[in-house]
């Protein structure tokens, strides 16, 4: 089964001075990084940038922030700064049953085992 969250995208709030950004799950990693670079910031855990082949060539907009967090994507920077999960301060999750869970559910092992997040 394939889940497409790319229509649920965009940066909700960004405070460069506090190093905090709030984004929707379908926001592409590349679009987030473009915004961060404009303020001389970056994702310190260096998530990989995936591309996929289409009829017209390679498409960059494949990896999303939601997918990055769900899979824990981290590159070589994780050895110095920590992985993706160490950079997440909070999240709101919609389960397949239609329930919302807030920031109190930060144990991702518990979340994976019991909630089946969308």
Q: Are residues 4 and 47 in the same domain?
A: yes
Which pTM was predicted?
A: 0.74
Q: Are residues 104 and 47 in the same domain?
A: no
Domain that holds residue 115: 90-118
Q: Are residues 82 and 99 in the same domain?
A: no
Q: Are residues 29 and 47 in the same domain?
A: yes
Q: What is the pLDDT of residues 46-82, one digit of tens each?
A: 888 777 777 776 665 578 888 888 888 888 888 888 8
At 17 the three-state DSSP class reads: helix
Q: Are residues 61 and 8 in the same domain?
A: yes
The tokens 């995208």 sit on which residue?
A: 9
Q: Are residues 70 and 24 in the same domain?
A: yes
Q: Are residues 104 and 64 in the same domain?
A: no
The tokens 């996929």 sit on which residue?
A: 52
CA atoms within 13 A on the CB side of 22: 7
Contact assessment for residue 93 and residue 106, using Cβ atoms and an 8 Å cutoff: no
Task: Give the N- to C-terminal CA distance of the chain in Å, as an integer.
Answer: 12
Q: What is the pLDDT of residues 1-55, one digit of tens each?
A: 666 776 788 999 999 999 999 998 888 888 899 999 999 999 988 888 777 777 7
């Amino acid at each position: 089964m394939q889940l497409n969250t790319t229509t649920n995208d965009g940066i909700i709030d960004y405070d460069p001075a506090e190093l905090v950004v709030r984004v929707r799950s379908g926001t592409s990693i590349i679009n987030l990084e473009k915004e961060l670079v404009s303020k001389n910031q970056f994702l310190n855990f260096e998530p990989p940038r995936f591309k996929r082949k289409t009829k017209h060539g390679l498409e960059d907009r494949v990896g999303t922030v939601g997918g990055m967090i769900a899979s824990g994507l981290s590159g070589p920077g994780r050895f110095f700064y920590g992985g993706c999960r160490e950079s997440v301060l909070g999240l709101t999750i919609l389960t397949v049953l239609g329930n919302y869970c807030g920031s109190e559910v930060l144990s991702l092992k518990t979340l994976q085992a019991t909630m089946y997040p969308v």
